[in-house]
Structure 1
Amino acid sequence: MKSSTGDHYPALDHVRGLAAFLVFTWHFLHVSPDAIVPYGFVPALPVFSLLDEGHTGVSLFMALSGYLFAKLLDGKQIRYLPFFANRALRLLPLLVAVICIEACRRYLAGQPLDEYFTGVGKGFIFPTLPNGGWSITVETHFYLLLPFLLMASRKFLFAPLLFIAAAILLRIALWEHFGEVQLAASVTIIGHADQFLAGILAFHLRAYARDRHWLALAVFILFSGFFWWFDTAGGFYQLGRYPSPHGIWIILPTLEAAAYSFGIAYYDTSFSTRRTSLPLKVLEKAGSYSYSIYLLHLFFVFQLAKAINDNVMDISNFYVACLWSVVCFVATIPIGYLSYTCVEAPFLRLRLRYAVDKRETTEAIVPGVRSVVAN
């Protein structure tokens, strides 16, 4: 999508579309009321474990956010009030619409709304917003920290590594105190900070990822193998119990951050931006409308999987269900387009310019500096 700076990076839309597909498939396969695909199933090929544990798509979103904002704001002076205003214009309209739709759904179902609206009110601090809205809370916390993170990164390139180390130590402390850290690691900034920070660092070190094809393949194989082990051990819900007391949740966000941030930098720098194949065009469209797809798909993805299983064919087979997930995900792109056009786009036109080239700032203070520098 084109940002308020006018920049557009199709490659990053591909990554965004892939992240949305991972989350969509995660819900399509497992989190339906009738558990269409048994959660205990583990695919034979490790790469499919990334779909079987598709919640990791949210971590890919977070790493992309860190990378993208570092790219958009590199070498620019940031006006933070317009920045925060733009973030509100980007996220709040659809989120408010989803909150209202969910309230209507609960009211028509005869469910009390007091607890629901209490959760919505807490959603700015706690992961209690509906339809995956907890990730918007995490994003908001990241935006509040972003000025400090960017300032620290400009003064010391490897500052994000220090913050990641601090996040790991915090998760260790929480694990020691509460006996589990899965909840904090999976749905709060305490876990997802690693991905934002790694994304920022990956942008500044992107030259080292360019054309490193063998390294990219090795990272992909190792990361897929790790997730296959994680899936075999029980995954998100069955690693002992939920929330899991397993210590892997201390470093899982860091491993996701390292793999995804490198993958984003590699893909962004190693290939031509003029990708015209049909699958990539579809993925780019899905990425453009991914926010709508992400917040809206929970209204229908469970029922969609059940309807196919009951009326079309048995999709309890993992691989068959994955193929159907691809079909259904593509079918949601028009829904995302309508939502984007009717709900998101009108507010996006109100965005303000918040990133100014430092040379422009200098020229505003010292008229004629451009001619002096040119001479």
Structure 2
Amino acid sequence: MILPQERSRDIGLDHVRALAAFMVFGWHFMHFANGYPVPFEGAPSIFPLAVLDEGHTGVALFMTLSGYLFAKILDGKTVNYIAFLSRRAIRLLPLLFAMLIVEGIRQYIVGADLQAYFRSLVTGIVEPTLPNGAWSLTVEFHFYALLPLLLLLGRKSPGLLLGIVLVTVSLRTMLFLQDGTVFWPAYWTIVGRLDQFVFGILGYQFRGLIVKEHRRAAVLALAFFVFYYFYDRLGGLYQMPSWPSSSPVWIVMPAMEGIVYGLLIAYYDGSFNHSQGLLSRAVGNIGKYSYSIYLWHFLVVFYMADFVQKHILDISYYYTGQLWALICFLVLVPFAYASYQVFEKPFMRLGLSYSSKKMATHRADQAFSR
């Protein structure tokens, strides 16, 4: 069935989505070639910017937001799970398939091993082998498989969801003691990312702890910024102490990011009447196109950074690199808009209703840009 146009999007959450997309884009723009064009050494002296310098954490923000949104949209509603899965597939797969075809053509042109590429697409159903950031969609699909259980446990008792996090932290601890590292499962798979989905759900359920609590939110954000400043200063993702990381911080990093992002998303969503002014709507539109930005940017972001470094300006200084990352990110937005119109928007209203209230179903698909 096709559902009619209904209520507007949650523009505040689109702002969050735009931030996450910029964090990931900026991370790849500045550091794509082992610290080129912006070296890894040090951290920005304006310490909150360390979160942007370690912009890979934008993936954690995306995933926590997914948990929060589904908790908000499906709160107290009965869900037709088969219809839910089919609707999510209709929403996400057209753009994913388009990107995979283009990437396959690119690999053919450069003479890459196409058999290896096709094998990565097959294994990508289970393992994080899909190209161009699509590995995170594999993790999100795994979350969808677990969503009915998570919603059931959350309705019975939030403590049961915390129990799931305790299990994942324990599992990561055992893997670390066994292998001397837990980075791969913590960063690339549901073994780590499940914490973030769960804390997104809990962020919505416990939003009363943070909504309009400005001082509490400020302290939480400050503590997170300070942690990321020292994490960045000590080498961050690539140099703490090496790649892949053998640091035990990855036992708790997914949970810590999930806690902070879950609460701050709830704070931003519930504490303000978000403006419908020009700037707010412009940022919100970037959030609307963030799925397209996320999947397509890998094809151009590295060339953008290399071109700027070689032909326009030395961007090895962090602040210069971050500014140019923003400029190039904005250059990409019109192309993301075109992609959104072709590969996303036409599919948003297709499929069966999966909740007890049709409005909630339509709102769910409008609320998600990835």
**TM-score normalised by the chain length of structure 2:** 0.93
Q: CA deviation at 1:286?
A: 1.0
CA distance in 1, matches of 2:259, 2:333: 30
Asked whether the 8 Å contact 1:194–1:254 carries over to 2, the reply is yes
2:87 aligns with 86
Residue type of the alignment partner of 1:141: H
Residue type of the alignment partner of 2:295: L
> Is the alpha carbon distance of 1:289 and 1:45 closer, same or farther for their aligned partners in structure 2, counting shifts above 3 Å?
same
For 1:262, what is the secondary structure of its paired residue? helix
For 2:78, what is the secondary structure of its paired residue? strand
Residue type of the alignment partner of 1:208: L
2:31 aligns with 30
1:158 aligns with 159
CA distance in 2, matches of 1:115, 1:6: 45
Structure 1 stretches of 4+ with a deviation exceeding 6 A read 2-5
Q: CA deviation at 1:357?
A: 4.0
1:349 aligns with 349
Residue type of the alignment partner of 2:328: C
Q: Alignment identity in percent?
A: 43
The aligned runs of 1:306-345 (5 Å cut-off) are 306-345=306-345
Gap runs ≥5 in structure 1: 359-375
CA distance in 1, matches of 2:168, 2:4: 30
CA distance in 1, matches of 2:8, 2:148: 20
Residue type of the alignment partner of 2:140: E
2:108 aligned with 1:129, yes or no? no
2:76 aligns with 75
Moved more, 201-210 or 130-139: 201-210
**TM-score normalised by the chain length of structure 1:** 0.92
The aligned runs of 1:284-295 (5 Å cut-off) are 284-295=284-295
Post-superposition CA distance 1:114-160 (Å, at most 9, x none): 11110110001100000001100000000000001001110112322
Post-superposition CA distance 1:218-247 (Å, at most 9, x none): 111100110111111111111122121111
Asked whether the 8 Å contact 1:153–1:159 carries over to 2, the reply is yes
Q: CA deviation at 1:93?
A: 0.8
2:212 aligned with 1:211, yes or no? yes
CA distance in 2, matches of 1:98, 1:213: 41
CA distance in 2, matches of 1:58, 1:74: 24
> Is the alpha carbon distance of 1:176 and 1:3 closer, same or farther for their aligned partners in structure 2, counting shifts above 3 Å?
farther
Task: Give the total of aligned pairs.
Answer: 357
> Is the alpha carbon distance of 1:99 and 1:335 closer, same or farther for their aligned partners in structure 2, counting shifts above 3 Å?
same
Residue type of the alignment partner of 2:304: L
The aligned runs of 1:1-375 (5 Å cut-off) are 8-32=9-33, 35-276=36-277, 278=279, 280-357=280-357
Asked whether the 8 Å contact 1:75–1:357 carries over to 2, the reply is no
Post-superposition CA distance 1:143-183 (Å, at most 9, x none): 00000100111011232211111110010011111110011
RMSD: 1.9
| Structure index of larger Rg | 1
Post-superposition CA distance 1:179-233 (Å, at most 9, x none): 1001111111111111100010111111221111111111111001101111111
Post-superposition CA distance 1:273-331 (Å, at most 9, x none): 334251x3222111100000000000000100111112211111110111111111112
Residue type of the alignment partner of 2:326: V
Residue type of the alignment partner of 2:52: L
